[in-house]
Each structure stands twice: as structure tokens, then as C-alpha cells.
A and B are shown apart, each in its own frame.
Chain A
């Protein structure tokens, strides 16, 4: 049985609801990173004492899940349904193959290690 990594870059304000929704459909673990970046959304400008600064790297949350393949579709649908507002800046999801997984505690491998 093979595994897939789901990387979702989302708005920080959506983190709590995404986390809850994923736990509900049975996702058991996740890693969360505070990141900065931009896609087509090109940031905003800030003005301090008349001086303009362009802030193009905006704070985002990156969610990393490694799932057994049969879980992936439901997880992706869940993330999309919770985070979509239809406006620029909603984020992106990337999927990639995972070759193996190892549980450090007891050497379990593959899906059982997830």
C-alpha cells in the first residue's frame, strides 16, 4: 500500500477549522509550519511616516500530512471545502509520492508507521 504527502498552503485564519475537519474524517497526524510566501497574490503596501514599503511575502500556514492513498481524496476535499473563499490568496495544495515511512520508536515501516 502506498502513501501520499499532502502539502496545503492556507490562510493562517483557517488553520483551526481545517485541523478540526481533518480530525473528524480520521486524519491522525499532521505537521504545521508558519511560512511566508506569495503566489499570484502580490502582497500589500505599508506606509510609515510617508515611506512606502511593499510587503510581498505574506504570512501563511503550511500543513503537511502523509496519508495512505485511500485517505487522500477525502482529505483534499475537506481542506478545499473549509478554506475556499473564492478570493485570491486562498492557497494551494500539492500532492507527492512517499517512498517509505519509519516510526522511530519501534522501526515499524510503511503505512503502519503513519
Chain B
């Protein structure tokens, strides 16, 4: 009883204190200077909260995109080669994670995203000079510049790794490293700068001369890598014994796991390209998923019609083709357009690898061109058709009114701009890759000797084997 009384006294005392405090607060709020301070403080807290949310999503996205190269692409490609080349093939992807990272820090980022001319960035940011935790507001007002830098690095890693599928099972490791070093600087950096860099010729967000829509890298990543892959396959020539000797994938199981990881990682690739934890990211996420699903049906369905069977390899190849094609469109189109884009890409890419490749006779060993070159081109063109301002109001006039995006909105010019971007990407990839191959060929030679090719690259290039148990080691 006594305790209860003292308790209620205490409560009354506290209440009095709170009221007093509230009263003094009220008094403080009447002063305009204090109100301004308070609002400024709140605004800064809101900014910090938004920055934290965006940064959290973008760091996760960067990690997801790295996951696409290793283990995703490494497993996907590793399973498709013969078992004597499994490690060499996986290492070619993994090596990009090391090599391109170093190049990116020294000069690659600056050439891609530093300010420069319409075609390539300058050298202001070499050695990551001036790239710190403060945002680079040209690219994002909420992200630390290093988050943007490291996110873009993951794209610069996977793009050359995609090319390795074309010259699998026959290129020298040393030649591959030199080729990729030059390719990163001569093909990737200018293309990334033109499409995404400040001042870039094709940049839609920052007022380029021919604004082309490429949300996550249809031209920058997939056309450049896919078309370069075709040039590599043609320049290096066929593998010994191709197409007479059977060269079936040694483990579709590995490829299967790799493709599933690619699908998941692609959410970071496409939804992350919103550069914010925003509704646009959700839109890109949903579109990515829908296109992949439709493309599985497109590819496997085409197989079913032609061979009477749908295959696991067909289903996973279809998924990758759909993911490639939706990449430029992810942040511009509706989910129903994505289904259409995926279905078309699945069917067309199947046709490319199953028919067109054998008509022309080039040995694009793992179909880097058939999937990435063709899928990227289809995606880039269809983006110009299906982009709509209802999903992403990217164009405005001087009064701030929203302008139409793609053909579905009535903007036919966009389709022309998409073709310009596609053409530039093709030409840059063909010319750049050819010149680099020629130089590397003259300097150190591209192909392994025939006996090394027969022995397999695992042993001849790296002195190890993927599956040691076959030697019945006890």
C-alpha cells in the first residue's frame, strides 16, 4: 500500500517533468531559427536513411554480380567443355576476377566513368583518385562513389569472362590474359563510357547525342562480348577434330548449377542497375525474372518441336538467353513485354546455336555469340520498341513534362537510336577485337600447340587435373 502510494507519487512527478520538458520544447519551437535547424537536421537524417538503404542494396547487388562470374559462369562453361579442359575453362572466368579488378583500379574505372570526351573517359580518376565515399552526383546522389565504382567493376569482370566461351579448349593462358587486358581498355572502357559515362555519346540519362536505352548492359556487356566472341572463334579457328569428333558437354550437371546461379545473380545485375533500392529496381527485378521464364519455354519448346524432346541443357541455355535479352530493357518495359522479349530471345538463340552456327561452320565452342551476341542484339532492338515512360519516365522536355520513351509510346526515333548503339557496339567489338588478336598473335601466339590441345589445357597449361580420381590414386 505504502509502496503503491510512493509509486503513484513518482509517476505524477515524472508526468510533471515530461510536461515541463514538453513546454520548454514548445517554447523552443516558436523560435524560427531553431525550427529551421530542426528541419535541416530531419532532412539530413532522411538523406542518410535513403543513402543507407540504397547503399545496402547496391553492395548486395555488387556481390550478386560477382557471383555470376564465379561460380556461375565458371560452372556453366566448365560443364560444357570436355573434362580435360574443365579447370582451364573455369580458371579463365576466375582469372578475370583478379585481372580486371587490378586494371579497373589503376585505369579502367577512369577510362569508363571519369569525365572525358564523348567516346572515352579521361585520366582524372586513375588509381581511383577522387573516388571515395562521397557520392558522385552525376551517377547517384545517394551512393558512395566507391559503391558505384565496385558495382561497375563487377560488370567489367563478367563481360570479358563471357568471351572465353568462344575460344574454350584451345587458347594459351598467357595469350588470354594479354588479350583480356587490352580488350578491357580498348573495347569495354569506351563502350561503357559512351553508354553510361558522363558526356557519353549514347548516354540517355546524361543527355548524349544519340540517347540509347541500355538499362544494364545489352550493348555494353552482351553485344561487345558476344560479337568479340565471334571474332575470336573465327580468328583462332576450330578446335582440332571439330566438327567430326564428338565433343559433348562433360557435365550438364555443373552447367545446370551454374545457370541457376546466373539467374539469381542477374537480379543484382539488372535490378541493381536502378542504382537505388527503388520501385524501378523492383520493376527491373520482375522483368528479369519474367523474361528468363519465358525464354526457358521458348528454347525448350523449340527443341521439343524439332527433336521431340525438351532437354535440360536447352532449358538452362534458354534461361540465359532470356536474361541476356532483358538486360537492356529491364528498367524500361512492362512485365508482359518482358514475357514477349524472353520468348523471342529463347526461340531465336536456339535457332542461332542449333542452325546458324553449323551453316557458317565457325566453332564458337560454348555459344558465346549465339547467346550473348544474338540475345543482346535482340534485346537492344526490342528495348527501343517496348520502352515506356509509364515504367521509367527517362525523357523530359524543358518544362519537366514526361516525353515518350519507345515505339509503344509513339517515339520511333528511339528505335533508330537503338540501332545506332547496336551498330557502334558491333563495329567497336569487331575492329577492336581483331586488332587486339592480331597484336597478341604476333607477340606471343594465341593457340596452344596441337599436342597440348589433345592432352587438354588442364594439364598442358596448368599442370593439374579436374578429376584426379580417374588415375585410381589410392
**Does B350 sit at the interface, judged by CB under 8 A?**
yes
The 8 A CB mask of B347-364 against A (1 = contact, 0 = none) is 000100111001000000
Complex formed: what's the CA distance from A48 to B243 in Å? 13
**Does B317 sit at the interface, judged by CB under 8 A?**
yes
A53 to chain B: which residues have CB within 8 Å?
Answer: 246, 248
**Contact across chains for B353 and A50 when beta carbons are under 8 A apart:** yes
**Does A49 sit at the interface, judged by CB under 8 A?**
yes
Q: Which of B301-328 contact A (CB under 8 A)?
A: 303, 306-307, 309, 311, 313-314, 317
**Does A46 sit at the interface, judged by CB under 8 A?**
yes
**Contact across chains for B246 and A49 when beta carbons are under 8 A apart:** no
**Contact across chains for A49 and B307 when beta carbons are under 8 A apart:** no
Question: Interface size class for chain A?
Answer: under 10
Complex formed: what's the CA distance from A51 to B244 in Å? 11
Mostly, the A contact residues are strand
**Does B453 sit at the interface, judged by CB under 8 A?**
no
B354 to chain A: which residues have CB within 8 Å?
Answer: 49-51
A50 to chain B: which residues have CB within 8 Å?
Answer: 303, 306, 350, 353-355, 358
A47 to chain B: which residues have CB within 8 Å?
Answer: 303, 307, 309, 311
CB distance from B362 to the nearest CB of A (A): 14
Question: Interface size class for chain B?
Answer: 10 to 19
The 8 A CB mask of A32-75 against B (1 = contact, 0 = none) is 00000000000000111111011000000000000000000000
Complex formed: what's the CA distance from A53 to B306 in Å? 16
**Contact across chains for B249 and A48 when beta carbons are under 8 A apart:** yes
Kindly report which residue of chain A lies nearest to residue B355, judged by CB atoms. A50
Complex formed: what's the CA distance from A77 to B226 in Å? 61
A51 to chain B: which residues have CB within 8 Å?
Answer: 243, 248, 354, 358
CB distance from A58 to the nearest CB of B (A): 14
Kindly report which residue of chain B lies nearest to residue A47, judged by CB atoms. B307
Q: Which of B235-258 contact A (CB under 8 A)?
A: 243, 246, 248-249, 252
**Contact across chains for A48 and B248 when beta carbons are under 8 A apart:** yes
CB distance from B33 to the nearest CB of A (A): 72
Within 8 Å by CB of B314, from A46, A49, A54, lies A49
Complex formed: what's the CA distance from A98 to B350 in Å? 57
Complex formed: what's the CA distance from A48 to B303 in Å? 10
**Does B367 sit at the interface, judged by CB under 8 A?**
yes
B246 to chain A: which residues have CB within 8 Å?
Answer: 53-54
A46 to chain B: which residues have CB within 8 Å?
Answer: 248
Residues on B facing A (Cβ under 8 Å): 243, 246, 248-249, 252, 303, 306-307, 309, 311, 313-314, 317, 350, 353-355, 358, 367
- 24 A-B pairs whose Cβ atoms sit less than 8 Å apart in the complex: A46-B248, A47-B303, A47-B307, A47-B309, A47-B311, A48-B248, A48-B252, A48-B311, A48-B313, A49-B313, A49-B314, A49-B317, A49-B354, A50-B303, A50-B306, A50-B350, A50-B353, A50-B354, A50-B355, A50-B358, A51-B248, A51-B354, A51-B358, A53-B246
Residues on A facing B (Cβ under 8 Å): 46-51, 53-54
16 further A-B pairs in the complex, CB-CB below 8 A; given A47-B311, A54-B246: A46-B248, A47-B303, A47-B307, A48-B248, A48-B252, A48-B311, A48-B313, A49-B314, A49-B317, A49-B367, A50-B350, A50-B355, A50-B358, A51-B248, A51-B354, A51-B358
